[in-house]
Amino acid sequence: MNSFTILSTLILFLLHRNVLGASSHRPETASVNVDVSGHHPGAHCFPALGFQPPPFTPPDSWLDNWWCDAADEHAFMGFSYEVTACQSQEQLIHEFLDIRFHFNSRYVRLYGACDREGFYDDIVEAAWISGLGVHALIWFGFNLDDVWIGRRDTLLAALHANPRAKFITRVLQFGSEPLFDGVLPVDELTAQVEMAKANLSSLGIPVTVSELAFGYQERGGAQELLDALDSINIHMLPFFSQEASIANNSWPLVLNDLDWFIDHGNGKKMYFDENGWPSVTSPGVQPNSPDAVADIQNEHDYYVLLDNHCEDLKAVVGGGIGWFAHIYSDNQEPGYGIYNSSGHLKFSFHPRTSC
C-alpha cells in the first residue's frame, strides 16, 4: 500500500464507523460477517451498504457466502463509469470512494476500455478499498475491428490471476450494444458468452451482454443469446425513442422495453445497466423525436421518475430491477454525467437503494 491508499483506507474506516455507529465492526473472519445489530439487514454480504471487505484476501472458501443474493438487490445500484481515460489508481480510489459513500452505491459498471497493463488490478484494488462490486466489461468499441479479442483474453486472465478479482467482479459484460452495433452475428456472440461462462465457472463469475431491447428485436429476438445470459443487462435510454418528449412522460417508454425483456427473459435477474437521460445533445447523442428535450431538469426528472417507481421496479421478476445511473461525470460522456465537466453536481442525487 502507498501512503495515499493507507490514508484512504483510514478515512473509509472512519466513514464506515460513522455510517454504522458504534455497534458495528469490520468483518475479520467469516464467522463475524453476520451483522447482529438488526439495523443493517443486508450488511452481512458483499456489497451491501455497511459491509466492508476485510483488509486481507479471504480464502476461496469465503466465496460460498460472499455475495448478496441478486434477487434481494433492486433500486439504485451505482454508476456507469467510463475508463477510457485510463484513470490512475489514486483517481479510481478517490472516485470509487465517492461513488460508494457520497451516493450509497453498491456497484460500479465499467464502460469503455483502458488497455494499460494491469489496469484491471487497479480496478480491483479501488473496488476492494471502497467496498464496491464491479460489472466488468469486454469493450468492443465502435470500429468493428478485433481489438476486443485481446481485451477479452487480458480481462479473463486478470480475473483468474488476481486473487481478489472474483470477490469484487459481480458479472462480466460483453458490450456495449454489440447487437445494435453489429459487431458479431447472434450465434457468434452467443458462443463467446458460452466460452466466457466456461472460462469463469471456477471463479463463480456470471456473464452477460450489455444491450438495448432494440438490439435483440432487430435480430428476430436473438432468443438463443438471451437464453445463454446469466443476467439481462439492459440499456434503457428512452431519450432516443421516437415517442420521446420530456423525461416525466417516459415511464410508458421504459415499460415498453422492460415488458419485452420480461416476456423473453425467462425470469432472469435484470438490470438497467446503461440508463439515463442527457442534459445536452452532441454528435453522438441525437434524438429520434422532434419533441425530445435534453436539459439538466430532464436528466434529473428521469432519475426521480425511476425513484418514484421504485416499488414497480422492485416487483419485476428476478427480484426486481437494479438500476445504474449513466454516467458518473460529463467528462466521461457529454451530458449524461451526474457531475458536470468541472466537477460540480448538476443536481442533488440521492436515489433510494431499496423500497
**Binding positions for ligand NAG, rule: CB under 6 A:** 153, 156-157, 160, 199, 246, 248, 297-298, 301, 340-342, 344
| 99 contacts 353 by C-beta, under 8 angstroms | no
Question: Which is nearer to ligand NAG, 84 or 248 (by Cβ)?
Answer: 248
Q: What angle do CA 166, 168, 173 make, to 5 degrees?
A: 80
Question: Which is nearer to ligand NAG, 265 or 276 (by Cβ)?
Answer: 276
CB of 329 to ligand NAG, least distance (A): 11
Residue nearest to ligand NAG (CB): 344
Give the side-chain half-sphere CA count within 13 A for 148. Answer: 20
d(CA 67, CA 292): 40
CB of 26 to ligand NAG, least distance (A): 33
CB of 121 to ligand NAG, least distance (A): 15
Q: Which three cell numbers stand for residue 212?
A: 438495448
CB of 351 to ligand NAG, least distance (A): 15
Q: Is-cis flag, bond preceding 327, omega within 30?
A: yes
Question: Which is nearer to ligand NAG, 155 or 179 (by Cβ)?
Answer: 155
CB of 310 to ligand NAG, least distance (A): 15
Strand partners, 46: 67
Question: Which is nearer to ligand NAG, 15 or 246 (by Cβ)?
Answer: 246
Q: What is the distance in angstroms between the CA of the first residue and the CA of the last residue of the chain? A: 38
The one-letter amino acid code at 169 reads: T
Strand partners, 37: none
CB of 153 to ligand NAG, least distance (A): 4
SS3 239: helix
Question: Which is nearer to ligand NAG, 158 or 229 (by Cβ)?
Answer: 158
Positive or negative torsion for Cα 258, 264, 270, 275 = negative
Question: Which is nearer to ligand NAG, 160 or 219 (by Cβ)?
Answer: 160
